[in-house]
Chains A and B, each alone.
Chain A
């Protein structure tokens, strides 16, 4: 609209016309002149996306049951899981193989929700500075995992992963692991009281490094969804 903005007319008495205009436009003015209100209204509208895409998935997550062969972590692997989360491994490694040909070609069968039901918090992620770890279990030897965690550059010269050699000297807090087992039990993981009571034996003399390697070496080994398994045969 090509309107010429004229000089403001100050100190003029408002007539009835001005009053009418002020009234109609005041709706916008209320929002325009109050940033907090503008912010809240924007937040409400933007949240539609999350409400539609995320909230139903929270509800759906309760209906997901463990796939055949997927069992809760052993105490040692659970301790390793805690170390994995605590050390921030997830900031560089995802554990989700997407439904894309070149992903399954490199990493193995695509991930499904059923195989990750005992991961709390879940470790799918989307950030890949390092490779995906969803099916890393058994791909390399225990010694490889140890040497690689101590100093990744000994094995992969161009790696920018930090050294985690200090984990060797870190003892496992047994009470914490038992507490975590109880928490998982409350959330539906089928741990028995006997298993929880026997956890200290399983953790005897183990460092967090042992636990982390045990965790990694089991990733994706038994929990490949049955219906996706033949993929190994078909791809070259």
Chain B
């Protein structure tokens, strides 16, 4: 703040306080002229309403004086009087650093546990699961929803089952959170034409036992084996390396209706899981992985010998 503006603030503060202080000192002893009838002589409505006199109530004076003194102490201790930094040298950045330090100290034991512990074991730690839930609600629930069951509108997968697009091992999940994922399903409308798209859609639905028209299924199988199998596999079981969905289970990223499946094949999909390494630190990501794997979905991780 320049000297001019510092002086400006100081002058205004002094004038304001000066006037108030003068009023405070003068008011109790003020000699107010009173008419013979005990009023001030001010009358309204042709004398029907006349103005009497009364001292300020004590409680009002006490509160005002307290406020006046508190404001004075504040201006001495904190920045406010022009560019005067105040006797406490207080800054909001330092206060924030202090708050963070206190918070970190209170979390130090938990943080240590998280850093030392194994991901699957953290699932049995009540405190780390509370932290995991809070982090999930803050960051993940917007797409995966609060119950972690996913959302068809953005193609966010259900995290509570044992099907994983990119693998369900601990390392896979930590990798998904840390670096994000980009799933791309190409659009086939132009290459295949509407008829073949609808045949494939029927076939794909038949893979998981959904109602389908058998006449179209056979034709769809032909198209599938030459076009879709490259990513989704000949048996339609998907591919973790590519993030190609398993089409034989009941887990549907964008919904299992014929319209949704047809739209996926015709116009493609591009799912995007942001990389969280820019927002979350390693401990937070580890806790999140633990929280996610605490939903009866750790079959693959356990089978792989993860802890």
Contacts and interface: CB of A to CB of B under 8 A. Distances in A.
A56 B34 contact: no
B41 interface: yes
A141 to B, nearest CB: 4
Query: Which residue of A22, A48, A51, A236 has the most chain B CB atoms within 10 A of its CB atom?
Result: A236
Nearest to B141: A156
Interface in A104-141: 104-106, 108, 110, 138-141
Contacts of A236: 103-104, 107, 110-111, 131, 281, 283-284
B39 A5 contact: yes
A69 B273 CA distance: 25
Interface residues of B, number: 61
A100 B99 contact: yes
Q: Classify the secondary structure of B's interface with A.
A: mixed
- Select the residue from B36, B139, B280 with max chain A CB neighbours within 10 A: B36
B154 A155 contact: yes
Nearest to B283: A236
Contact of A56 (B8, B19, B139): B8
Contacts of A25: 32-33, 40-42
Nearest to B44: A33
B12 A48 contact: yes
A138 B274 contact: yes
What 3 A-B pairs are tightest by C-beta distance, nearest first?
A101-B99, A141-B272, A3-B38
Interface of A: 1, 3-10, 18, 20-22, 24-25, 29, 32-33, 45, 48, 51-52, 55-56, 59-60, 99-101, 104-106, 108, 110, 138-144, 147-148, 154-157, 231-236
20 contacts: A3-B53, A4-B38, A5-B37, A5-B38, A8-B47, A21-B33, A22-B41, A25-B32, A25-B33, A32-B42, A45-B19, A99-B92, A139-B279, A143-B272, A144-B143, A155-B145, A155-B154, A156-B142, A231-B100, A233-B281
